[in-house]
Amino acid sequence: MKPSLLSLAFASLLSAATVSQAQNAPATDGVKVGSMSIFRKLAPTGALEGQAAAQYAQTMRQAQQQRALGPDDNAQVLRLRAIAHKLIPFALRWNARAPQWKWEVNLIASRQINAYCMPGGKIAFYTGILDTLKLTDDEVAIVMGHEIAHALREHGAERAGKANVANFGIKLAEVIAGAKGYDPNLVGAVGGGVAKMGMLAFSRGDETEADIVGLDIAARAGYDPRAGVALWQKMGMVSKNAPPQWLSTHPSGSSRIAEIQRHFPEVMPLYAHARGISLNALAPYQSNVKGIAALAYPAR
């Protein structure tokens, strides 16, 4: 699939903006999440980015063949790319490789309530998440910032590295069990169950980290972090049958809302600065769905 002239122009403008913003991005304010996981070094990041690019291209080709790929002049595609154009410059300080990524943003017609950003900056939204949740621009920015954060923090490489360690540990346990006369298959099954539960916890940690980093990116770009609360309230309205938090790779909606609110003191000043007004002058955030109350900060 050949990139269109509009896609190339988008990439060119974005590249120029990212270099400029990266040079001026402050490193002392905003959220603090610590260093990236050492486990990501156990998986080849460059190779993962190459694999992701190939998989993304294949997905876009299939969507195009099925007439499900949003054209460059589609209003929602233009909207998503405009939001990405504002977000990505403030993402660069989170990963030294990010300025060299060939960022892409596309829209696929599907009822799936989903969006993602693959390693290397390959972003995709599904119409289902835009339409079902009736996302405002601020809420789109929260979703997109979250997905970008997964790529920036190399969570894919981290999970691959953890899986490699877990598999090695299970094989080692089976060998030791066999040498001592125990059933290695039973030991392997138990070890696999323990490892699976551990990986779920790791994944929830990645989701929380992506929420926090995404808030920082969105706020610096001038998008309201309070939209994250409305987003998860909306998500709760359409996912009432979700599994309990301890059996899910995602934290519960209430946990995410609490974590987002906990970081308001770090990100709301960034948002106010981006808007060029004081914190006290910020109007309450009002979503576009009945039943979601306006959210003021500071509380009034």
Mean pLDDT across the stretch 251-268?
Answer: 90
Residue 109 lies in a domain: yes
pLDDT at 179 (0 to 100): 54
Residue 9 lies in a domain: no
Higher pLDDT, 111 or 195: 111
* 78: Cβ contacts below 8 Å, ≥ 6 apart: 72
CA–CA dist 14, 56 (Å, integer): 19
> Is 53 in the same domain as 160?
no
> Is 140 in the same domain as 40?
yes
pLDDT at 205 (0 to 100): 76
CA–CA dist 154, 116 (Å, integer): 13
**pLDDT tens figures, 127-177:** 999 999 999 999 999 999 999 999 998 856 556 544 544 453 445 444 454
> Is 122 in the same domain as 216?
no
The DSSP-derived string for 219-278 is HHTT--TTHHHHHHHHHHHH-TTPPPGGGSSS--HHHHHHHHHHTHHHHHHHHHHHHTS-
Which of 170-184, 228-242, 252-266, 278-292 has the weakest average pLDDT? Answer: 170-184
**Mean pLDDT score across all residues of the chain:** 78
pLDDT at 41 (0 to 100): 52
Mean pLDDT across the stretch 255-262?
Answer: 93
* Alpha carbon 168 to its chain's center: 29
Residue 272 lies in a domain: yes
> Is 179 in the same domain as 222?
yes
Residue 4 lies in a domain: no
Residue 204 lies in a domain: yes
Residue 291 lies in a domain: no
CA–CA dist 107, 221 (Å, integer): 21
Question: Residue 32 is which amino acid?
Answer: K
Q: Residues 1-27, buried b or exposed e (16+ Cβ, 10 A)?
A: eeeeeebeebbeebbeebeebbeeeee
> Is 174 in the same domain as 105?
no
Helix (H) or strand (E) segment spanning residue 125 = strand 122-126
Greatest C-alpha distance within the chain: 71
CA–CA dist 66, 262 (Å, integer): 43
Residue 57 lies in domain: 33-152
Higher pLDDT, 52 or 63: 63
Mean pLDDT across the stretch 104-113?
Answer: 96
Mean pLDDT across the stretch 270-284?
Answer: 96
User: What is the CA angle 290-298-223, rounded to 5?
Assistant: 65
Residue 17 lies in a domain: no
CA–CA dist 131, 113 (Å, integer): 9
pLDDT at 50 (0 to 100): 86
* Alpha carbon 15 to its chain's center: 20
pLDDT at 176 (0 to 100): 56
> Is 145 in the same domain as 180?
no
Cite the active site residues.
147
CA–CA dist 236, 172 (Å, integer): 42
CATH of the domain at 82: 3.30.2010
The DSSP-derived string for 167-181 is HHHHHHHHHHHHHTT
**Residue in 294, 277, 267 with CA at minimum distance from that of residue 30:** 267
Confidence check: pLDDT of 52 > 60: yes
- Rounded to a whole number of angstroms, the CA Rg of the chain reads 21
